[in-house]
Amino acid sequence: MSSRRKFLKQSGLATLGVAAAAAAGCQTEKAKHTSSTTTHPLAISTWKNGMQANEAGWKILSNGGRAIDAVEQGVKVVEADPNDMSVGYGGRPDRDGIVTLDACIMDETGNAGSVCALENIKHPISVARRVMEKTPHVMLAGDGALQFAKEEGFVEENILTEKAKQQWMEWRKTSEYKPLINIENHDTIGMLALDQKGDISGACTTSGLAYKMHGRVGDSPIIGAGMYCDNEIGGAVATGMGELVMKTLGSFLVVELMNQGLSPQQAVEEAIARIVKKIPGYQDFQIGYLAINKAGEVGAYSLHKGFNYALYANDKNKLIDSDYYLK
């Protein structure tokens, strides 16, 4: 038994929710919660825009490249797409008309980098990677993140498109703040990759909620909330209403449940169950989780119908509808 599992057993942490049934070898639970298995390398991304992210990542993975490079290059495609109004360039602004971007990245060694409330930089994921590789910190925010990005050679530019500006001006007529379930494949691109060496990395990037309060930061740049990887176990990413993910530290929870013996599918279902149990009014919001483990098993689950994800494995890129809680 590994020292980690021994600690969990001694401390009683391996007896939470569905984990208890799994640890006890409950055949009923196992039959109800199955994960699809693939071979590696593989790439998996949230939402329909994950198809193009996977394509870019697969070019790296299929040539023996690192998972960290695959996830960075994959989500950069979506960040640069002005037609995607929930990520990067073209993202909807906050209620003051300012586009602020959040992103995080994590490699197979456990190193991580993050930026939040970053303005005027098209590729926050690459800035996050520079934070990871070139600073003693994990997260830089706001003006400090922008200063660091410019020092690293990133070009400051206007990332508010005319389309997003016009929508914001129309919104200002009522200024009604009401997030809608599944709007525009709301509201993130999260990506995980397992490379030919079996190493796992993850990335998550977003422009956040449309018309949010200036300075609002969601789960996407927070290690353990929007994304988390442990190269001994697996990785997870989240999408949807960030406040619900932050309150339950969803991605870390999924990975830790896999550490306790749950499959990726069991783990994401249990993470949704925690939201249902602990957060009043959860019915008004969408949350989706993706997870992979070292064996190449995949899990996906959401609160509401409508969450889909892209899976690139065995030389095929597929868009798959996730199962969901609220039937």
Q: What would the DSSP string read from start to end of 61-104?
A: HTTT--HHHHHHHHHHHHHT-TT-TTSSTT----TTS---EEEE
Size (the chain), residues: 327
Select which of 188, 206, 239, 248 is catalytic: 188
Three-class secondary structure of residue 238 per DSSP: strand
Continuous segment of H or E residues that includes residue 206: strand 200-206
What is the rounded CA–CA span in Å between residue 76 and residue 126?
Answer: 8
Taking alpha carbons only, the member of 281, 235, 280 closest to residue 256 is 235
To the query of whether residue 188 is one of the catalytic residues in this protein, the response is yes
Q: Which contacts of 135-141 are long-range, i.e. CB under 8 A and separated by 24 or more positions?
A: 138/112, 138/113, 138/114, 138/223, 139/104, 139/113, 139/114, 139/115, 139/221, 140/114, 140/115, 140/116, 141/115, 141/116, 141/117, 141/217
Asked if residues 289 and 34 have their Cβ atoms less than 8 Å apart, the reply is no
pLDDT at 29: 36
pLDDT at 176: 75
pLDDT at 7: 36
What does DSSP assign to residue 164?
H
pLDDT mean by block of 10 residues, the chain; 327 residues? 41 40 36 60 96 97 97 97 92 95 98 98 98 98 98 97 95 75 62 97 95 94 98 97 96 98 98 97 95 97 96 96 96
Which ranges in the chain belong to alpha helices (H)? 3-11, 18-23, 27-32, 50-61, 67-79, 124-134, 142-151, 162-171, 242-248, 250-259, 264-278
Task: Say how far residue 103 (Cα) sits from the centre of its chain.
Answer: 9
What is the rounded CA–CA span in Å between residue 69 and residue 105?
Answer: 10
Three-class secondary structure of residue 110 per DSSP: coil
Other CB atoms within 10 Å distance of the CB of residue 80 = 14
What is the rounded CA–CA span in Å between residue 286 and residue 317?
Answer: 25
pLDDT at 186: 52
Burial category of 24 from C-beta neighbours within 10 Å (exposed 0-12, middle 13-18, buried 19 and up): exposed
pLDDT at 177: 67
